[in-house]
Chains A and B, each alone.
Chain A
């Protein structure tokens, strides 16, 4: 049981290049999330998917797109990378029981540098 996995672990891009960050979970969770982590700002939500087939913007969605490929996979795409997108990106997942709040489980992160 791998939990939440992310690829790649590290990536360096040049300004204007595009790339897709991959995330997969094997816990049969309905909800998935993408965060970015910047010094002194904690983690900020970029996009989330409450269930397969739905996606919604979070706090900082500009410059990003997401795809919920199936129940397991949730990808984050940078169409034209900018230096301001240099960050550590975390994917997370949770169940979606309506009766209670559900804990999020995090992947190991992807460290992205945009030159």
Chain B
């Protein structure tokens, strides 16, 4: 069965510093990859997605992610974090053959220090 791992449960970063969130997946075929963000008490907002093509994808709010097939990874990055980036981030993998279902990682909570 497919699985998604986000190794870091919590990350604390200073405002203005760079941020990288890790995501690894297990699946035999090429997956469809997503990063979602959830602010406290809110629903999920899509940050970016990778379906095919260029392995470096740009998203909203200044985020980007890179798909590395050899490492089965899809890490999320932001060069300079803002206080409003404090939230929980979820990596997810979709499989068309599985009825467009999504498998989510456990999430990484990001705290931003002033």
Contact = CB atoms under 8 A, between A and B. Distances in A.
A101 B100 contact: yes
Given A40-B106, A42-B90, A58-B101, A101 B51 contact: yes
Q: How large is the interface on B (under 10, 10 to 19, 20 to 34, 35 or more residues)?
A: 20 to 34
B101 A108 contact: no
Contacts of A109: 42-43
A45 B102 contact: yes
A43 B44 CA distance: 10
B106 A45 contact: no
B35 to A, nearest CB: 12
A101 B36 CA distance: 17
A21 B31 CA distance: 31
B114 interface: no
Contacts, number: 59
Interface string B73-114: 000000000000000001010111001111111110000000
Given A101-B51, A103-B46, A106-B44, A43 B101 contact: no
A62 interface: no
Contacts of B11: none
Nearest to B105: A42
A74 interface: no
Given A42-B104, A104-B100, 6 more contacts: A43-B44, A45-B103, A101-B94, A103-B34, A108-B42, A109-B42
Q: Which are the 10 A-B pairs with shortest beta-carbon distances?
A: A42-B104, A101-B32, A108-B43, A106-B44, A43-B104, A101-B96, A42-B106, A106-B43, A50-B99, A40-B106
